[in-house]
Amino acid sequence: MTELSYVRTEMLPESEPPASTVGIVGWARENLFNGWFNSVLTIISLYAIYSILAAILPWMLHNTWSATSLNECRDIVAASGAEHGGACWGVIRERWLQMMFGFYPSELYWRPILAFILLLVALAPVLFDTMPRKMLWFSALFPFLMPWLLWGGSIWPPISALIGFVLGYVVFRALSAATSDLIGLIGGVVAAVVWWLYLSGGFSSIAHGIIPIGIESVESRQFGGFMLSITIGVVAIGCSFPIGIFLALGRRSDLLIVKSLCVGFIEFIRGVPLITLLFVASTLLNIFLPPGTEFDIILRVFIMVTLFASAYMAEVIRGGLAALPTGQYEAADALGLDYWKAQRLIIMPQALKISIPGIVSTFIGVFKDTTLVSIIALFDPLNLSNAIRADSAWNGIVWELYGFIAVVFFILCFSMSRYSMYLERKLQTGHQ
């Protein structure tokens, strides 16, 4: 009698997946042609892309890099037989350094280049936790090193500014240990402000008279191009983030005066265009200062752009704080943590994680808004393009300069966007 088994006792050999489900074909079927509607949209989109590229590429692909004027570019394009003209890339070859550094002295280009390299070094331990933590000391010192490299002059004013922060921290620690963190914070801020307003200048002058260390000075009016935009963007982003955190906490505070001041500041700044604030910084700010006071124009821009970005940053972070469940606050209270420890260890890390997309969007917006300084006669990349076109050799150049500016801004903004996505993936703890 033959015994039959209805349960298979051995595994079937593995088979290759169907060719239509893997590789480029499988990806296209899943994402581009997974239905008649998506297929029609894909075909229309491909035709639109083809039409745009067919119009742009013939205009772009002309060997005009060696041209020294617009007329020479036109002669080269005409010799190639192009019917509808072509791009004149000679202006980029000839003026790209000016687009990068403005009117900064060419023999001193090494200083902004070094400052940018050191900026990347300073940001590395802040952005990536795999970097050595000891590098954070350099990150803390870089804000005082960067202005000295860019503006030059005596080394003692940046050191004096650093001493103000150190003095404020010492006073904060001493008063916090004796009284409370709030009194310590107020005392530290007052001590630092008194040092900067009344003692810092005398200290710098005396120290420079004893040990005269410095480099050649560069006026702010010589700044320009992407160096100016990056400098304003970095300072505004770096300063607006902590200010925005304190404003967000102040707006949610139970203290009536603190809450009212924060709400008033945020709503006023958000209700005024940045252009208006820049005009105030350029023309009206000196009216409220003592006669003869010199207030650097770029420093005024730093202050106004930082305040503008801080108001928007505060609302983004406040949204993250509001999104946290009340259980997190109750857990902090149950652990016996005071207000500042609860914010530092439990509340704020989660709120910032929730707010990452909004924070980075604010950063990108602030960086792009740096082009508005052209209205107060600072030579950002857009204003520099107008100056370049004023040269008779390049009068009539438009799209090449704007295209170069757009590409550089896209690279910088896209890099911030990609880092935001990386950070969100890294901090993701739940299921998508």
Q: In this prediction, what percent of the chain has a pLDDT beyond 90?
A: 40
Site of tokens 């940001």: 123
Q: Is 380 a domain residue?
A: yes
Residue 84 and residue 231 in one domain: no
pLDDT tens track for 78-92: 887 766 678 889 899
- Flag whether 148 is in a domain: no
Q: Furthest-apart CA pair in the chain: how many Å?
A: 117
Range of the domain at 308: 227-432
pLDDT confidence of 3, banded at 50, 70, 90? Answer: low
**pLDDT the model gives residue 426:** 84
Query: Which of the residue ranges 11-25, 309-323, 364-378, 396-410 would you say has the lowest mean pLDDT?
Result: 11-25
The verdict on residue 100 lying in a domain is no
Please give the single-letter amino acid code of residue 85. Answer: G
Q: What distances in angstroms separate CA 355 from CA 316, 328, 350, 413, 427, one per listed residue?
A: 6, 16, 9, 18, 12
Q: Which two tokens stand for residue 98?
A: 């000016």
CATH code for position 302: 1.10.3720.10
State pTM to two decimals: 0.85
Lowest mean pLDDT among 129-138, 146-155, 276-285, 399-408: 276-285
| Number of domains making up the chain | 2
Give domain status of residue 391, yes or no.
yes
- Same domain for 265 and 414, yes or no, is yes
| Residue at 110 is within a domain | no
Say what the pLDDT of residue 336 is.
Answer: 83
Query: Is there a domain that residue 192 lies in?
Result: no
- What is the model's pLDDT at position 1? 53
- Give me the amino acid identity at 287: I
Last residue in a domain, options 88, 121, 148 = 88
Find the range with the poorest average confidence among 5-19, 152-166, 240-254, 372-386: 5-19
- Whether 183 is in a domain gets the answer no
Looking up tokens 């035709």 gives: 47
Mean pLDDT of the chain: 87
Rg (CA), the chain: 29
Residue that is last in its domain, among 73, 88, 103: 88
The helix (run of H) or strand (run of E) holding residue 193 is helix 181-194
Instruction: For residue 337, tell me if it sits in a domain.
Output: yes
> Average pLDDT in the 327-353 region?
86
pLDDT at residue number 291? 66
